[in-house]
């Protein structure tokens, strides 16, 4: 019975992703973002519980990737599609009366699939990642949606920026590149409670605790950028030591 507990949590991740898509088609991108957060929690828990119970399996690994493809592959693509559809100035490029530009958002699911397939067969990716993890990429896209919807509205220029067509296109291309890049990033997992072994994780927790209450969802892009820069910085220090 206990072998099925992580798989059950993985299916809840998948269900949350499905609900996120429904919310997007109901024009509730705020709820889409919330369901993504729920999916991310289940995604974290399934692996953690599997390790604690010592019930990791090949089926669980494959099921996790399939669930992630929906929650952290298709969902951010759907979000970007709707953001681009509502953005300005949207270039007038259409086929049979249908705007073409918003479909650029679906490059995200394509590159997410490549990222997940690469992760499954890459033995290097145990205590580190090569390329941007799909959950992190999805949180980035979701935060852009929340800023765009003025869920965080102190800085109007951020809302204007996230509603700009070319900003969204550049963000899409950048995220697709990061997903399949060879940039080495630190894993979210804690090796122990020691500072030296988990410096990046601890710094990110502190940064999150400071920024999130102050600037709310606008903190997420800053935190994720810090994640990339800190991973690169500490990798360079390891190589030079």
- Please, are residues 23 and 5 in contact by the beta-carbon 8 Å criterion? no
Residues 208-240: tens digit of each pLDDT: 999 988 888 888 999 999 999 988 887 755 545
- Please, are residues 33 and 74 in contact by the beta-carbon 8 Å criterion? no
Helix (H) or strand (E) holding 185: strand 184-186
How many whole angstroms separate alpha carbon 150 and alpha carbon 44?
A: 28
Reading the block at residue 62, the tokens are: 């494959």
How many whole angstroms separate alpha carbon 141 and alpha carbon 105?
A: 10
- Please, are residues 164 and 158 in contact by the beta-carbon 8 Å criterion? no
| Domains observed in the chain | 4-188 (1.20.120.1760)
Q: What is the pLDDT of residue 141?
A: 95
SS3 state of residue 153: coil
What phi, psi does 70 have (nearest 5°)? Answer: -80, -55
Say what the pTM is. 0.88
Strand pairing class (98-99; 94-95): antiparallel
Q: What is the pLDDT of residue 151?
A: 65
The stretches in the chain having pLDDT less than 70 are 125-127, 151-155, 188-193, 195-197, 236-241
């Amino acid at each position: 019975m206990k072998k099925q507990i992580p798989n059950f949590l993985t299916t809840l991740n998948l269900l949350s992703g499905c609900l996120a898509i429904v919310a997007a088609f109901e024009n509730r991108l705020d709820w889409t973002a919330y369901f993504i957060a729920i999916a991310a929690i289940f995604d974290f828990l399934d692996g953690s519980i599997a390790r604690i119970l010592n019930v990791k399996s090949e089926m669980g690994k494959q099921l996790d990737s399939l669930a992630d493809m929906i929650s952290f592959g298709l969902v951010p693509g759907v979000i970007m599609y709707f953001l681009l559809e509502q953005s300005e100035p949207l270039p007038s490029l259409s086929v049979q009366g249908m705007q073409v530009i918003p479909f650029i958002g679906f490059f995200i699911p394509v590159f997410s699939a490549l990222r997940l397939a690469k992760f499954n067969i890459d033995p290097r990716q145990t205590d580190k990642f090569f390329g941007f993890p799909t959950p992190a990429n999805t949180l980035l896209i979701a935060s852009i949606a929340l800023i765009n919807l003025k869920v965080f509205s102190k800085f109007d220029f951020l809302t204007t920026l996230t509603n700009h067509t070319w900003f969204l296109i550049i963000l899409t291309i950048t995220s697709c590149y990061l997903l399949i890049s060879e940039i080495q990033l630190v894993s979210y997992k804690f090796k122990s409670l020691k500072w030296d072994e988990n410096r990046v994780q601890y710094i990110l927790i502190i940064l999150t605790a400071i920024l999130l209450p102050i600037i709310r969802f606008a903190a997420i892009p800053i935190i994720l950028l810090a994640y990339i820069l800190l991973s690169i910085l500490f990798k360079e220090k390891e190589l030079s030591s």
